[in-house]
């Protein structure tokens, strides 16, 4: 007795069918990735839900089923990208051994995050939110949520008090975001040199914190605490 190869039990391959939840999650991810791609390629103002659905190769109805309007889609896409970046950072950083190079590697990984699609899309959305009160409120809430999540993750690797660590992270994020904006108006070669020098200075600053442990506390007490509501300026 001979079996046709296609029918042979040894060669039969069972096709795995995805569940409805898996198909839905995959569709959402396609839409979120397409949203970021469109914002980066065309800018926030020119990005439409029709354009996003077309780039994701989905019907307009499929897009509306998951996200009712552009604002919902954009905010979900930013959260999706931040979450992906955080997971990629965590996966890369967990294999870095403790030591003097740990902070330098963390800065390089952070810059990879800030210099990619995230920074371009986030800058586009922040600029749009400046003149759109409804979008601004939504972006501020989303940014606060994401900042808290990133702070909790980052602080797990630090021995600094939480408020001092938060200050150092705010400094690093502000510098990298500013560097990303500067790069939009420079040639590739010029920007590579400028960013290497600025990131090198940031690494030196972070190293100096290990030698002068009270620096962040002095800055926090002098500027941050004094700026708090109800603070008394001396």
Q: What is the mean pLDDT of the chain?
A: 81
List of E strands, the chain: none
Neighbours of 119 (CB within 10 A): 20
Residue 213 backbone dihedrals phi, psi, to 5 degrees = -65, -25
- CA torsion angle 78 131 52 25 (round to 10): 30
User: Exposure of 74 by Cβ count < 10 A (0-12 exposed, 13-18 middle, 19+ buried)?
Assistant: buried
- The pLDDT value recorded for residue 47 is 93
- CA torsion angle 136 142 147 150 (round to 10): -150
Rounded Cα distance, 79 and 82, in Å: 5
> Could you tell me the CA-to-CA distances from 216 to 19, 162, 168, 209 in Å, in that order?
51, 11, 8, 8
- Which residues, given as ranges, of the chain have pLDDT below 70? 1-16, 100, 210-213, 220, 223-234
Read off the pLDDT of residues 74-87 as tens digits, 9 standing for 90 and up: 888 888 887 887 78
Rounded Cα distance, 164 and 169, in Å: 9
- The pLDDT value recorded for residue 22 is 85
- The pLDDT value recorded for residue 206 is 83
Rounded Cα distance, 72 and 15, in Å: 35
Read off the pLDDT of residues 148-180 as tens digits, 9 standing for 90 and up: 877 887 787 777 788 888 888 888 889 998 999
> Could you tell me the CA-to-CA distances from 170 to 34, 57, 72, 148 in Å, in that order?
29, 38, 27, 11
């Amino acid at each position: 007795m001979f079996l046709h190869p296609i029918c042979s039990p040894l060669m039969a391959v069972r096709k795995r069918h995805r569940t409805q939840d898996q198909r839905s999650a995959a569709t959402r991810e396609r839409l979120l990735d397409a949203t970021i791609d469109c914002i980066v390629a065309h800018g926030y103002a020119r990005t439409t839900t029709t354009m996003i659905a077309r780039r994701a190769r989905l019907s307009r109805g499929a897009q509306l089923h998951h996200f009712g309007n552009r604002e919902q889609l954009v905010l979900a896409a930013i959260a999706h990208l931040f979450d992906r970046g955080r997971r990629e950072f965590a996966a890369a950083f967990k294999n870095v051994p403790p030591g003097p190079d740990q902070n330098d590697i963390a800065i390089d990984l952070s810059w990879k995050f800030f210099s990619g699609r995230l920074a371009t899309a986030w800058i586009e959305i922040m600029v749009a939110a400046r003149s759109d009160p409804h979008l601004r409120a939504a972006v501020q809430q989303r940014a606060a949520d994401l900042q808290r999540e990133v702070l909790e993750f980052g602080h797990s690797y630090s021995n600094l008090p939480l408020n001092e660590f938060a200050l150092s992270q705010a400094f690093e994020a502000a510098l990298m975001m500013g560097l990303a904006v500067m790069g939009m108006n420079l040639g590739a070669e010029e920007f590579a040199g400028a960013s290497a020098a600025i990131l090198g200075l940031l690494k030196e600053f972070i190293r100096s914190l290990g030698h002068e442990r009270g620096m962040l506390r002095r800055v926090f007490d002098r500027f941050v605490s004094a700026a708090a509501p109800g603070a008394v300026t001396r």
